Structure 1
Amino acid sequence: MQTKIRNWLLSTLAVAIFAIVGCNPQATSAPTDSPSASPSATASVPAVVPSSPQANNLPRLEGKATVVMTVKGSPITIEVNGTDAPITSGNFVDLVDKKVYDGLVFHRVVREPQPFVVQGGDPQGKNPNFPLEQLGTGGFIDPTTNQPRNIPLEIKPDKASEPIVYSKTLESKNPKLKHIRGAVAMARSAFPDSASSQFYFVLADQPFLDGDYAVFGTVTQGMEGVDKIQQGDRIESAKVTQGIENLKRG
């Protein structure tokens, strides 16, 4: 019984810690007791694709793509799933193609008391003089508009072909793309539509995150390289090796 209580407390603490780190420059931190902004942010009824001009102009991945990310000389192959997460995947592939991730730092690595996540993608980390402990609040600024690019929370319910849930967490906690070991997902703040460029690798199955954060890919080769990433390590390069023709930039 004590072991079960301890594991529950660890999971709850992990949710609280995770909720306050992934964000964009404009976002506010989530409450420390919940991964979502408020109870009203959950819904079991799928919503339509966002119709705002910003959402319409976001990149989309129509199909799949392969990204190879190199860290400390080790290639990490990621299959990006635009079939089940087209906006989230399109954003990631577009940023890879723009070389946004090259040179960025993994600012958050959690392996104790149990394997959790490896997180990076804050553009502020490209500056070698930027303090590591202050990373985690930055997002991609589109140079064509000089405005932050944020993407809607995008989660597809399991065994559902259409539609995808946008801008709301999934109350059923049963998404098609789950937080299993090797999954790649977007970090965000309490505001559902605050994801930008920060992403994380999942080090062990984390089902309590399912339905709250958008998984968009999985590591197909090189997970041993992910397991070796330490806080402060940099992405040497990230390249789209297959599927760039599936990227539609809006």
Structure 2
Amino acid sequence: MLRVLVTRPEPGASRTAHRLEEAGFQPVLLPLTETKALPAAAGLIPDDAVAVAVTSANAMRHAPEEIIATLAALPCHAVGRRTAEAARKAGFLSVSEGPGDAEALADVLAAGFSGKTIVYLCGRVRFPAFEQRLGTAGVRVHAVETYDTLTVGYPDEVTLERLSAQPADAVLLYSAKAAAAMQMLARRPALRGLFEKTWVFALSTRIAAAFDDATGERIRIAAQPDEEALLALLQAPR
């Protein structure tokens, strides 16, 4: 049975583990990042905001109730299905599901909101291209950071225990921050043997680039940036 290392933070890690078990794989949970809520004041939201954008379900999950209450009547543009579900669950009344990619969502919004203000619910650690594209198109983006992403460190003995001192056949990478942490972990002398033959499956080219170039021949990138495409890589011939 293929042993798959799951590096994403909770609660997504357990959800992914369940999907892997159903597909006949053996998940090994080792979250390399964690998310922490940040204080965000509803009074700082501009009065002229006409819409909300969100590219991460975590941004919605960590948003304070007063922020949601202030914004819930505005149309919410979510990057993809999972984020759209989180927005509806949080209480947004009108939610549209985007193409699954933040830059593609920015292109969609740029066409309709030039010269207008949108509120962007986001994390402190984020890729700048979304805001840059909208800014170039004349969209005023007011970022509201609802969470931070922190690296989780594990002593060698804890990692060995989690992996039962057995090599990992594959590792799933969902963020550049986790990819960088995984790179450092795999280079440790006490752990190197566990990852010498590990296949690395990344959600995007940017995430793959954050991993070790020396193992590029064992890296595969999802056809599109969603979990379905990422897990499909486990079934593909190598």
TM-score by length of 1: 0.25
Larger Rg: 2
Q: Which has the higher contact order (CA 8 A, sep 6+)?
A: 1
Which TM-score applies when normalising by structure 2? 0.26
